[in-house]
Amino acid sequence: MAALILTAWSWARRLAAALPFEAILMAAVLAWGGMQTFKATRADNRADDLRAELSTEQAVNAGLEQVVYYYGDQMRRLSTALEAREASRAIDDKSIAVARAAARQLERDNASTADWAGRPVPDAAAKWLRSLREQDGNATH
């Protein structure tokens, strides 16, 4: 390896001695210019790659924004539906409470109603109420 380096060095010295200074200077300037052109070309290629990557990232970002808007809209719709359901349920709960209070008042005020309310529920009526409840449960699922 050392012999190869020495041989290259001796050829470079002979070439430098044989050529005029202007030729050596011109070769150095041309080499420097070539290196700068190579660096500029590499930088342009890297810039093109980065532009393409940025474009891809922007497209992905736009798609993700659409997904966020879609799910945000869905959440607002569900929230509105749940609020309406809760309002309806609150009205139903109040209605049930009023009906129960009226039934208790009727039991207190009317002796025959109190006797009837104190009796056990007939099996057929209990079975019918259970079947209604099961049908209602299946319809909501």
Domain residue limits, the chain: 47-98
Q: Longest C-alpha distance within the chain, in Å?
A: 136
- Which of 31, 137, 11 has the alpha carbon at shortest distance from 39? 31
Tell me what percent of the chain is helix, strand and coil, each rounded to the nearest 5.
95, 0, 5
- Residue 36's alpha-carbon distances to 26, 28, 39, 95, in angstroms, are 15, 12, 5, 86
CA distance between the termini of the chain: 85
79 contact partners, CB below 8 Å, separation of at least 6: none
**pTM as predicted:** 0.46
Per-residue pLDDT of the chain (141 residues; tens, 9 = 90+): 788 888 988 888 887 777 787 887 888 899 999 999 999 999 999 999 999 999 999 999 999 999 999 999 999 999 999 999 999 999 999 999 999 999 889 888 888 877 877 788 888 988 998 998 888 766 555
Contact call for residues 114 and 107 (beta carbons, < 8 A): yes
